[in-house]
Chains A and B, each alone.
Chain A
Amino acid sequence: MPGRPSEPESALIPLPTEVDVPLYHIRHGVKPPIFRVFISWSRGNVLQVACIRPLEDHLARGEANETSDDAGLGGKVVEVKLGASDPNISEAQRRRIIYDSIPPFVLLQSRRKAFLTMSRLSSSSSHPSTDWWQQVLEYSRSISELLGSSKISSKSVIEDPMIVLEPVDKPSGLKAAWQLMEIFYVDKNYFSWLPERLVDWLAEYDAILSETQMTVHSKLVKLQEKLVNLQVIENDPEYWEGLSSVLTVGWLDVAVKLLRLHGSYQLNQLDSRETENGLVETVAVLVSTMPRLRHDLPMGKLGQCFKTKPDFIKAWEKWRGQITKLDCSAFWVQCSHRPTREGLRNLLQIMLGNFNSISTACFHWMELFISHFLYIRPLTVVAPTYLVSCPKQGLGLLEILLSKQPVQNYPMILKNLEICQLNELYGISSCVKKIAGMHQWKHGRKGSGVYWLQEARDEARLNRIAQQLFECIGRSISDETFKQWEGLIELLGSDVGTAGGVGFLHRYRDFKRSLRQVRNGRPASAARQTVESLIQLMKSSYTPQRFWLPLLHDVVELLNWKDQPLLNVSETNFLLKKLQELSMAQLCPEFSETYLPPEALTEIRLALATNLSRAFLEE
């Protein structure tokens, strides 16, 4: 059945078992029937939904004969925003928060850099004076201030004896969440007294834990309304329920105040209800002297503070002993008022850590969580567990989010990479660069593509690009084609290309450059350099055979160099031998023809022969 929980009996936290599933109607404007619905999660809590109509031949006659605007409509795609943002924060406030949060963040980043530099410098000698977490805490508090003011006032809540709950504005959910992050992740001051920090947090934010379900706060609001009109407060079960609830979550001052509203305190009742009043007051004293592992308490708040764990444990055991003693005392028999007797003993059970009493008195899982800390396991191991596991999950989520960011424009890529850099997500950073590289390469921006693939150190793809260039240039060796690719060869660098293809392209580029210098009237040294490049290229096993003839044809004019022969006898013989090899290869069926003029071979032969004869004479 939709909406029905799968295994309610194994629940750790009491949650409602039957839930009404809200149903939202999507107004997409496509007339029913709908043939198919396709979905995809988009950024944030956005779901994209495509609603597609059936084909005409699948529709009933009446539905198919439409003349309206729908006639040509195949479906629509809508995006659906799920979940609501904090209604207490207006759009203008939200924008202000976003922009005002930048300066503290920039400050934090600059401090981080300085801190890292300082750590490196002082790593062997002394530790930096300030801990990094304190800087983060300062940043966290700046952001917290931006999210709204704090509700906790310096004075005790209650002046009027009948008011147990101070009317305040609804706190911000955003700030509540931020403060929880601060408690768990940042503020190391609180590590030793985390439960107390959570009690303070709950006192401030319990009101927003749930809009629809009961919380200790909403229970207290209800009780407050009743208090004014109640004559015999202790006869009302809600009084005792409210008392147990506030005690469970550690609001001791409210609990004591409520206890002292008990009818036995009235002057005209004191004589006849002396034992009853004594019991109420003893419980009130026990509540107000509860040991608390914290440095201090805000004014008006109750409990005894202990700064160290041994002192706290000692006081805790003593306090628990007093409660047990009271629980076993004979005075309960003399207390004739049943609701008081049962109500007070339930309060004692809460303070003794009775799970059933605690569980009945709170409503939200967060309340139960905090009451566990207070009464069941006051020295506990939850925080380290959170600290160890959450960063991993947080980073995991960040990795997924980053890998789903579009990389079509440069600023967006830089932004993503900066986030990767900050969080040391090198795998994702490489993935982003690869996606950007391939997108650019495939869309004609070859240089940019190679740049990003180099940034990603994607050797495999760069090798393939080098191979493609090599093949491309090999097909046509005109100067024009080469010019087209020259920039890319430069960009690829000389390290790429394990197969030697790029190595060849680089030597070929050098050869072409020096040849250009010769043609531009540069001195003989350039001519000598060109023929040296030629010899190297012809000797290299990576130079494809189809390049030999064009290479030799390029240097015909150098073979006829006016001043002196540029090649010696052995070099000329080597080239003649290569020419011979080429003639033999021409007989093979797989030989690829070059697109040179028919007289090219004769020209080369003649030039080599001339050079050889001149070289003989020289030597």
Chain B
Amino acid sequence: MERELATLDKGAQCCSWNYCGQRFAVGYDDGSVAVHDSDSSFSRSSKFKVHADGIMNIVWIPPEFGDAIACICIDGTLSLWEEVGEDAHSVSWKQCKVFESSTSRVLDVQFGLPTRYLKMVAAYSDGLVKVYELLDLLELNKWQLQAEFQNVVDSVSIFGKPTCITASVAWSPRRGESQQSRFALGFNSDLSQFNSCKIWEFEEAHQRWVPAAELAFPADTDDRVHALAWAPNIGRPFEVIAVASCKGIAIWHVWLNSGTDGRLSTEKVVLLSGHDNETWQLEWDVSGMTLASTGGDGLVRLWQSNLNGVWQEQASLDCSGGQQ
């Protein structure tokens, strides 16, 4: 059933695949990044030093902007790197941009589907969300800060600065120029108002980001969000978003035709439990029908809804290495 693809060097910390799954980048504790390619049977094609601190997370930039990655280091520095070359033999990775902040750390970063501009959302350890736009379609070095706000529904009240441990961002995967920009965001922080997953929408008329829905019941708004994933949609009248918190993995249905108050209709269809309440990653398959999750119990769990719309675990893959 399984086939070994690659062996990682000591100190590996994180792993991330590109859009087609033919390349992956591995972040190391010494601040270096290795890139593995399938055309050489997933052997390492490059290794380069990104930062003095270890790499916490790697995110691939949409391929319309080349072969490029965003690296988040343990000290919260975010840097963008791209593969360039004059010919097939002189390919190397070069740094395009570094986002530094003396006051807070970048926890997660995600890129929207490219429409007119490439948008990047960065979630910071002080609960702030920053949306950047790429100004130059050919180069990844010119970014403009488009918006900066807190992940709270109530924009009038003043909240203190939370301390956030992790953040999860997921853009709506809907394609097409006419699609409105939307992303979901949740924090794992010590301030309850910041934690719950909110869907942010860009209001063209007022050129601002507004919270269009909160994916949590009033009693659960302080649940710390561990991971989230927005499912691809191939013909459903609603969107499906999976949100993992300390209570389990919630599957939400979201109708994008907002009501009169501008809020989106939402429905929590199930709360799936597993992973000893510590979910690391959620990943939808291309059809948006199977959800894979990983977590503290060392398992990969596969979830599907049956014909009655009932969510069930279909299989578990034990990766703990206990039965070699």
Contact = CB atoms under 8 A, between A and B. Distances in A.
Contacts of B273: 1-2
B316 A435 contact: no
A41 B283 contact: yes
B14 to A, nearest CB: 7
Nearest to A4: B312
A49 B10 contact: no
Interface stretch (B154-162, B253-261, B303-311): B303-311
A74 B312 contact: no
B21 A442 contact: no
A341 interface: no
A399 B173 CA distance: 12
B147 interface: no
Contacts of A62: none
A399 B5 CA distance: 27
Contacts of A38: 14-16, 281, 294
Nearest to B315: A22
Interface string A15-42: 1000101111111111111101111111
A386 B178 CA distance: 27
B154 to A, nearest CB: 31
Given A6-B310, A15-B307, A52 B12 contact: yes
B6 interface: yes
B262 interface: no
A404 interface: yes
Which size bracket describes the interface of B in this complex? 35 or more
A31 B303 CA distance: 27
Contacts of B138: 441, 461, 464-465, 468
A11 B65 CA distance: 46
Contact of A26 (B65, B176, B317): B317
Interface stretch (A78-86, A210-218, A342-350): A78-86
A6 B269 contact: yes
B235 A393 contact: yes
A483 interface: no
B136 to A, nearest CB: 7
Interface stretch (B84-92, B189-197, B211-219): B84-92
B19 A52 contact: no
A408 interface: yes
A597 interface: no
A553 to B, nearest CB: 31
A404 B13 CA distance: 26
A338 to B, nearest CB: 36
Contact of B175 (A40, A72, A399): A399
Given A74-B12, A441-B138, A427 B176 contact: yes
B64 interface: yes
Interface stretch (B100-108, B120-128, B200-208, B284-292): B284-292
A28 B2 contact: yes
Interface in B71-96: 82-88, 90-91
Nearest to A12: B308
A82 B302 contact: yes
A439 B82 CA distance: 11
Nearest to A80: B2
A19 B311 CA distance: 12
Interface string B14-28: 111101111010101
B313 interface: yes
Contacts of B137: 460-461, 464
B301 interface: yes
A23 B316 contact: yes
B198 interface: no
Nearest to B176: A427
Nearest to B295: A37
B280 interface: yes
Nearest to A446: B86
Contacts, number: 273
A372 interface: no
Interface string B164-179: 0000000000011000
B97 to A, nearest CB: 15
**Chain A binding surface SS class:** mixed
A188 B263 CA distance: 44
B320 to A, nearest CB: 6
Nearest to B275: A2
Contact of B21 (A43, A389, A431, A460): A43
Given A42-B21, A49-B317, A464-B138, A32 B322 contact: yes
A79 B83 CA distance: 25
Nearest to B306: A15
Among B6, B310, B323, chain A packs the most CB atoms within 10 A around the CB of: B310
A61 interface: no
B51 interface: no
Contacts of B67: 439, 442
B220 interface: no
Interface in A62-112: 71-82
A525 interface: no
A82 B316 CA distance: 11
A13 B305 CA distance: 13
A27 B84 CA distance: 37
A74 B298 CA distance: 16
A21 B299 CA distance: 13
A71 B284 CA distance: 34
Contacts of A21: 313-316
Given A1-B273, A47-B292, A444 B9 contact: no
Given A3-B312, A392-B235, A465-B138, A51 B21 contact: no
A318 B5 CA distance: 67
Interface in A425-452: 427-428, 431, 434-435, 438-439, 441-445
A82 to B, nearest CB: 7
Contacts of A78: 2-5
A564 interface: no
B318 A397 contact: no
Contact of B136 (A6, A10, A403, A464): A464
B63 A48 contact: no
A77 B273 CA distance: 26
B180 interface: no
Nearest to A464: B138
Contacts of A600: none
B294 A427 contact: no
B66 A442 contact: yes
Contacts of B15: 38, 50, 52, 75, 77
A442 B315 contact: no
A428 B39 CA distance: 24
Contacts of B11: 55, 74
Nearest to A74: B12
B20 A406 contact: yes
A53 interface: yes
9 contacts: A2-B272, A8-B310, A15-B308, A34-B298, A40-B16, A73-B8, A75-B15, A77-B6, A444-B84
- The 9 A-B pairs of least Cβ separation, nearest first, read A396-B234, A74-B12, A6-B270, A50-B15, A393-B235, A40-B17, A42-B21, A444-B86, A32-B321
